[in-house]
Structure 1
């Protein structure tokens, strides 16, 4: 019964958040500013090693090579965040544990996504064929694997808190 409840709640939360994400106000006030901030954060990190890069909105440019890429929906980490958020919120645990799971989990997820964006930025300058494969297959799988690993580590943490004979319920 608990597994069925978790699964239904997980699906419901995801559906609500994905629908909300697609609304015009969410796109204008949350998704676009977040994605632009992600582009700025990527450029800020890249500029530590390469001063020939700039960002404009969601676009990243390497001036000498004239390579450019944009961070689009599905590449900004929001969808992966929704999946992790839904999984943690749907699981029966104390709210303080959910809070820390989300804080650390979303932080690690977006850290990995920054590595993804920067690696794709340089891979695209080197070889477009490898860039396309890494973008469409390699990194998509790794980001979803990151969501799964974060959730499983959080479950393991919860299990460690559990006294013998007690459940995880708050």
Structure 2
């Protein structure tokens, strides 16, 4: 397999399968990581929403405003799967491992912040414009979420390409 593209696809596939097995067979059934991250996102989102002057309530994985129904941050909506996808792209692409690890931490932080913004928008939408909630949840915020992941990957591709000797050495 001499093609760099085929090597990238093969590495990405192995990483994604490994992540899927790790998450589906160990992390998800244990539930601790998903639960912790969901509660963290809810707590942070509640603080931001309160800064806008709303009366926020939280109950376990549910966040809402006033007397309106809240939204629940279930497994799959807390960003772990998206973080795994992002990590797969970065780790499969050539580049120095120190730089990869640094960029992975930055990227996960950005994905986390985008998810916080997503939850804030969804919570306010559910309270103020419930007729737009399904559209906002299913299309606009999810699309933005994955566009950010794609942009981060493009930043990495352009950054990693700035070090051609390291890239060539990894695929030699």
Q: With the length of structure 2 as denominator, give the TM-score of the two structures.
A: 0.87
What root-mean-square deviation, in Å, do the aligned CA atoms of Structure 1 and Structure 2 show?
A: 1.8
Q: Deviations over 1:4-36 (max 9, x none)?
A: 111111122112212322235544221111111
Distance in 2 (alpha carbons) for counterparts of 1:35 and 1:88: 24
Determine whether 1:126 maps to 2:138: no
C-alpha deviation, 1:37, in angstroms: 1.2
Aligned partners of 1:9 and 1:90 also within 8 Å:
yes
Distance in 1 (alpha carbons) for counterparts of 2:159 and 2:114: 21
Q: Which residue of 2 aligns with 1:101?
A: 103
Counterparts of residues 82-97 of structure 1 (less than 5 Å): 82-97=84-99
C-alpha deviation, 1:167, in angstroms: 5.1
Gaps (5+ residues) in structure 2? none
Query: Matched residue pairs, number?
Result: 166
Match of 1:16 among 1, 9, 18: 18
Give the 3-state SS of the residue equivalent to 2:75 in structure 1: coil
Aligned partners of 1:59 and 1:68 also within 8 Å:
yes
Give the 3-state SS of the residue equivalent to 2:77 in structure 1: coil
Gaps (5+ residues) in structure 1? none
Q: Deviations over 1:56-83 (max 9, x none)?
A: 22110222x3221111223211111111
